Amino acid sequence: MKKMSIVMACMLFLVSNVLLAQNKYVGAAKCKMCHMAKGKQYPIWSESNHAKAFANLKGEAALKIGKEKGIANPSADAKCLKCHATAATVDAALNGGITNDEGVGCETCHGPGSNYKAPAIMRNRDACVSNGLILPDEKLCLKCHNSESPTFKGFDFATYNAKITHKNPK
Ligand code: HEC
Ligand code: HEC
Ligand code: HEC
Ligand code: HEC
């Protein structure tokens, strides 16, 4: 009996550690405080259609596309949210504060941030990457920019990336 409970305690300990270590989506507002000035990452993103991707599902163009597909409410339908709102695709256990409103947010492209957002980690690229930071390339974009999108008109990485680029100044 005693042995049993020790085994159980060990298992609980292991499980809780795995859960703590799991990277959670914290939301773009958490990245904002440090990424306003130097490379203007937050302002550039918030002006882009990625930040408006969820809001746009409530607009006339989205309602029209929905109608053709028999979808009455695109902003509540998984078939549209899939590419237009990261929060809707995130497992509840991994949601550390992200909401549909932010559309295609920082963590859609850079990976969930709870483990890498600490300043000491952020300043060290290797530490960032080992804590889950993704430095994305074309492959990631193609997950959404493809012919499954009802409005797809093709995708050229260089051209599209130039429109959303938010590099730090050299
Ligand atoms: C406490 C401040 C802070 C927070 C919060 C923060 N960052 Fe950073 N981040 C930095 C600093 C400092 C760097 C180092 C480079 C620089 O100065 O831009 C950095 C670098 C990065 C890099 C480039 C890494 C590399 O080596 O090329 C990415 C990508 C990034 N952050 C994304 C994010 C995302 C996404 C979030 C929110 C989940 C976030 N950051 C939250 C401070 C922060
Ligand atoms: C496979 C991913 C994906 C799915 C699923 C998807 N979209 Fe999109 N949507 C995109 C992308 C990427 C764009 C940017 C335009 C493009 O295709 O290059 C976009 C753009 C749009 C736009 C703006 C069009 C414009 O001309 O600016 C509307 C409106 C829209 N989508 C509505 C919808 C609706 C409604 C659904 C569900 C029926 C949906 N989308 C499903 C990826 C997707
Ligand atoms: C999770 C899905 C998703 C991913 C990943 C994604 N996009 Fe998008 N992107 C969208 C959607 C959805 C829109 C259209 C939003 C709208 O107009 O409502 C869009 C719009 C855009 C636009 C038009 C922006 C504007 O402000 O007019 C550009 C450019 C773009 N994406 C580039 C990229 C690039 C480059 C990558 C990869 C580094 C990428 N996207 C990754 C979903 C995605
Ligand atoms: C659609 C995908 C996408 C989104 C959304 C996105 N990024 Fe990025 N990010 C990239 C790509 C791709 C790069 C590589 C550099 C480039 O081409 O601009 C990058 C580079 C960076 C860098 C490194 C800049 C440098 O010069 O070292 C930082 C910091 C960063 N992103 C922060 C953010 C923050 C903060 C947000 C949200 C406010 C965000 N990103 C949203 C795709 C994205």
The string of pLDDT tens digits covering residues 14-70 is 555 555 578 999 999 999 999 999 999 999 999 999 999 999 999 999 999 999 999
At the top level of CATH, the class of 23-164 is mainly alpha
From residue 152, alpha-carbon distances to 80, 115, 143 in Å are 13, 34, 12
From residue 131, alpha-carbon distances to 108, 117, 120, 126 in Å are 16, 9, 12, 9
Residues 29 and 76: their CA atoms lie apart, in Å, by 23
- Whose CA is closest to 85, among 108, 116, 109? 108
Q: Decide whether any atom of ligand 1 lies within 6 Å of the 106 Cβ.
A: yes
pLDDT value of position 10? 61
Q: Which ligand is nearest to the CA of 143?
A: 3
Q: Decide whether any atom of ligand 3 lies within 6 Å of the 50 Cβ.
A: yes
Residue of 48, 56, 141 to mutate, ligand 3, most atoms within 8 A of C-beta = 141
For residue 81, is pLDDT > 80? yes
Residues 42 and 125: their CA atoms lie apart, in Å, by 19
The rounded Å distance from CA 159 to ligand 1 centre is 24
Residues 76 and 55: their CA atoms lie apart, in Å, by 11
Read off the tokens for 138.
């074309």
pLDDT value of position 107? 98
Residues 117 and 71: their CA atoms lie apart, in Å, by 38
The string of pLDDT tens digits covering residues 147-165 is 999 999 999 999 999 999 9
Measure CA 25 to chain center.
7
- Report the pLDDT averaged over residues 67-83: 98
**Could you tell me if 24 and 112 are in contact, meaning their C-beta atoms sit under 8 angstroms apart?**
yes
Q: Is 93 exposed, middle or buried (0-12, 13-18, 19+ CB in 10 A)?
A: exposed
Read off the tokens for 155.
């995708």
The rounded Å distance from CA 150 to ligand 3 centre is 14
- Report the pLDDT averaged over residues 86-108: 96
Task: Please report, rounded to a whole number, the percentage of residues in the chain having pLDDT higher than 90.
Answer: 86
Name the residue with the closest Cα to ligand 2, atom 29. Answer: 62
Residue of 104, 108, 143 to mutate, ligand 3, most atoms within 8 A of C-beta = 104
pLDDT level of residue 7 (50, 70, 90 thresholds): confident
Among the atoms of ligand 2, which is closest to the Cα of residue 77?
37
The string of pLDDT tens digits covering residues 105-128 is 999 999 999 999 999 999 999 999
**Could you tell me if 134 and 157 are in contact, meaning their C-beta atoms sit under 8 angstroms apart?**
no
Largest CA distance in the chain: 66
User: Taking the domains of the chain in order of start, what are their residue ranges?
Assistant: 23-164
> Which residues sit with their C-beta closer than 6 Å to ligand 2?
56-57, 61-62, 65-66, 69, 71, 74, 79-80, 82-84, 144-146, 148-153
